């Protein structure tokens, strides 16, 4: 067997999605070197359809660090959103209530912007690696081993290792179960997601409650739209023709007096979801960030926003750990990140349970949900909570 080629760096990052790349970008701005590896190719990551909403602070982070050119020119600033229920559309004005906006900008494009920025800076980012494993994570010199496309063996030796490798995280699986606690929540629903070629059906997003189940009307561009409707986790995509999808979506939004502009459907998929939190987000000299440490249900689009909030705190605490030789800074990362993670879990759970048709729902359940939604939109305090949580709590 040929010898491993060894690279030494301060921070080794497993996962080249938005969390891993943003961390590498933020560390570079602090003068800290890192190496990023990902088993997926750049193309593969770019083909993944993800949510489309960026919180105010996520956009601020992109702006402050010089990667906001496209989000600001091509993204769509939304100063509010609609809640549709009880036969009507209700507007929640984020600007008025929370003094903030969100941006509709596909999260895949955030990946493209970050990948371009890292490439332009000559960063060491290796996509498409194989046989990745992590070693000595509790020691002074943790390492990542992998093979490149030619089958040659490599090792990245670092001071700190970061698992930003998504919900199936190999880094998380490398932690002995007795060293962490995992909190999980299963939901008895999933989303049927479509992409279609049609003009926008609304100027902002519509979160739609109906007796038939939840629907979300989102957008991508002037000519491409993204919509979802609540379905069974075992729903068969092939059982849904375009006609059947449109009639289901129209029935759900029609219950609240809205009508969608239809067009050819170019993508269909079922998204299953659950809540998951790992505590602490540190094991020895390895930390977890983004989906590797926590997943949320999609209602409210918190996933990527949480990942970016994680790495903002992580860059700061890693700098302290490296310059002051203070490993305890990693505990502070976990504490600070988890505070936001749990609040986002609550928000995503709340939005999900308020808007989705419960399993075996009866008239009582549906009327109670409509009453809850009325309580939110008729109260300035209720609407303000939603606006603050949706646009994102200030990082601090
Ligand atoms: C989108 C996804 C979400 O989960 C959400 O809450 C809002 C928008 C989207 O894909 O556009």
Whether residue 171 sits in one domain with residue 319: yes
Indicate the pLDDT class of residue 39, thresholds 50, 70 and 90: very high
- Structural domain includes residue 86: no
From 108, 218, 225, 355, give the residue whose CB has the most ligand 1 atoms within 8 Å, as the site to mutate.
218
Tell whether ligand 1 has an atom less than 6 A from the beta carbon of residue 129: no
Same domain, 204 and 191: yes
pLDDT of residue 130: 97
| Same-domain pairing of 37 and 115 | yes
106 lines ligand 1 (CB under 6 A): no
One domain for residues 202 and 332 = no
| % of the chain with per-residue pLDDT over 70 | 99
Residue 65: CATH number of its domain: 3.50.50.60
Atom 1 of ligand 1 has which residue's CA nearest to it?
A: 51
Cα(84) to ligand 1 centroid in Å equals 15
Q: How far is CA 63 from the centre of its chain?
A: 19
Confidence of residue 396 (pLDDT cuts 50, 70, 90): low
Mean pLDDT of 288-317: 97
Average pLDDT, the chain: 96
Answer yes or no: is pLDDT of 1 > 60: no
Q: Is residue 345 part of a domain?
A: yes
Say whether both 343 and 221 belong to one domain: no
pLDDT of residue 232: 96
Question: What is the atom index within ligand 1 of the atom nearest the CA of 219?
Answer: 11
> What atom in ligand 1 is closest to the CA of residue 191?
4
Written as six digits, the tokens of 288 are 């977890």
Whether the CB-CB separation of 213 and 356 falls below 8 Å is answered with yes
Q: Based on the domain organization, do 13 and 122 belong to the same domain?
A: yes
DSSP letters spanning 83-95: EEETTEEEEEEHH
**Cα 396 to ligand 1 centre (Å):** 25
Q: In what order do the strands lie in the sheet with 206-208?
A: 88-93, 80-85, 206-208, 215-219, 224-231, 181-197, 265-279, 294-295
Q: Considering only CA atoms, which residue is closest to atom 5 of ligand 1?
A: 301
CA of 14 to the centre of ligand 1 (A): 26
Q: What is the pLDDT of residue 289?
A: 98
Q: What's the rounded mean pLDDT across residues 182-209?
A: 97
CB 226 less than 6 A from any atom of ligand 1: yes
**CB proximity list for 244: less than 8 A, separation 6 or greater:** none
Residue 202 is assigned to a structural domain of this protein: yes
Does any domain span residue 83?
Answer: no
Tell whether ligand 1 has an atom less than 6 A from the beta carbon of residue 206.
no
Q: Is residue 302 part of a domain?
A: yes
Please report how many Cα atoms fall inside a 13 Å half-sphere around the Cα of residue 100, on the Cβ side.
21
Give residue 378's pLDDT: 98
Q: What is the domain extent for residue 345?
A: 5-73+103-183+275-351
Whether the predicted pLDDT of 251 surpasses 80: yes
pLDDT tens per residue across span 252-279: 999 999 999 999 999 999 999 999 999 9
What pLDDT is recorded for position 50? 84
How confident is the model over 178-184, as a mean pLDDT?
A: 97
Q: Tokens 């997926």 — which residue?
A: 40
Å from CA of 303 to ligand 1 middle: 10
Report the separation in Å between the CA atom of 200 and the middle of ligand 1, taken as the mean of its atom positions. Answer: 15
Mean pLDDT to the nearest integer, 346-363 = 97
**Could you list the active site residues?**
78, 207, 298, 302, 390
| Number of domains comprising the chain | 2
Q: Which of 48, 49, 52 to mutate to test the pocket of ligand 1 (most atoms within 8 A of CB)?
A: 52
* Ligand 1 geometric centre to CA of 2 (Å): 47
Query: Does position 108 have pLDDT exceeding 80, yes or no?
Result: yes
Nearest residue (CA) to ligand 1, atom 2: 51
How far, in Å, is the centroid of ligand 1 from the Cα of 214?
13
Residue 51 Cβ < 6 Å to ligand 1? yes
Are 215 and 68 contained in the same domain? no
Please indicate, yes or no, whether residues 38 and 150 belong to a single structural domain of this protein: yes
In a domain, 95, yes or no: no
Question: DSSP secondary structure string, 48-99?
Answer: -----EE-HHHHHHHHHTT--HHHHHHSEEESEEEEEETTEEEEEEHHHHHS
Does residue 132 sit in the same domain as residue 213?
no
Q: Considering the domain boundaries, does residue 307 fall inside one?
A: yes
Residue 193 CA: nearest ligand 1 atom is 10
**With a 6 A CB cut-off, is 193 part of the ligand 1 pocket?**
no
Whether residues 124 and 251 fall in one domain: no
Does a structural domain hold residue 78?
Answer: no
225 lines ligand 1 (CB under 6 A): no
Ligand 1 pocket member 301 (CB < 6 A): yes
The reply to whether 307 and 293 lie within a common domain is yes
For residue 49, pLDDT over 90 is answered with: no
Q: To test the ligand 1 pocket, which listed residue (92, 291, 301, 304) has its Cβ within 8 A of the most ligand atoms?
A: 301
For residue 2, the model assigns a pLDDT of: 63
Same domain, 155 and 302: yes
């Amino acid at each position: 067997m040929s010898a491993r080629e060894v690279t030494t760096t301060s921070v080794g990052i497993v996962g080249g999605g938005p969390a891993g790349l943003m961390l590498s970008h933020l560390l570079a701005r602090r003068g800290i070197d890192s190496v990023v590896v990902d088993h997926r190719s750049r193309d593969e990551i770019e083909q993944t359809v993800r949510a489309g909403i960026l919180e105010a602070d996520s956009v601020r982070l992109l702006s402050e660090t010089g990667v906001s050119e496209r989000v600001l020119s091509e993204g769509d600033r939304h100063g509010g959103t609609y809640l549709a229920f009880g036969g009507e559309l209700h507007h929640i004005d984020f600007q008025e209530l929370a003094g903030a906006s969100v941006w509709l900008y596909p999260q895949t494009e955030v990946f493209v912007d970050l990948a371009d920025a890292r490439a332009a800076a000559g960063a060491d980012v290796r996509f498409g690696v194989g046989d990745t494993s992590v070693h000595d994570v509790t020691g002074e010199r943790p390492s990542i081993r992998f093979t490149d496309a030619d089958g040659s063996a490599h090792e990245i030796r670092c001071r700190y290792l970061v698992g930003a490798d998504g919900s199936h995280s190999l880094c998380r699986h490398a932690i002995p179960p007795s060293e962490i606690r995992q909190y999980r929540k299963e939901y008895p629903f999933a989303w049927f997601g479509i992409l279609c070629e049609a003009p926008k059906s609304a100027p902002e997003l519509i979160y739609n409650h109906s007796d038939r189940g939840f629907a979300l009307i989102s957008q991508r561009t002037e000519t491409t739209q993204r919509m979802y409707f609540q379905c069974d986790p075992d729903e068969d995509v092939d059982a849904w023709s375009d006609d059947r999808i449109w009639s289901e979506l129209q029935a759900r939004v029609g219950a609240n007096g809205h009508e969608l502009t239809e067009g050819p459907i170019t993508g269909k998929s079922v998204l299953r979801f659950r809540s998951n939190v790992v505590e602490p987000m540190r094991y020895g000299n390895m930390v977890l960030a983004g989906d590797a440490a926590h997943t949320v249900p999609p209602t409210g689009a918190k996933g990527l926003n949480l990942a970016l909030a994680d790495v903002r705190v992580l860059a700061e605490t890693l700098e302290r750990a490296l310059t002051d030789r203070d490993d305890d800074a990693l505990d502070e990362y976990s504490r600070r990140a988890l505070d936001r993670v749990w609040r986002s879990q609550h928000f995503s759970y709340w939005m999900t349970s308020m808007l989705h048709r419960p399993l075996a729902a009866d008239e009582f359940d549906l009327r109670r949900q409509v009453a809850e939604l009325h309580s939110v939109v008729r109260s300035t305090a209720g609407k303000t909570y939603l606006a603050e949580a949706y646009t994102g709590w200030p990082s601090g």
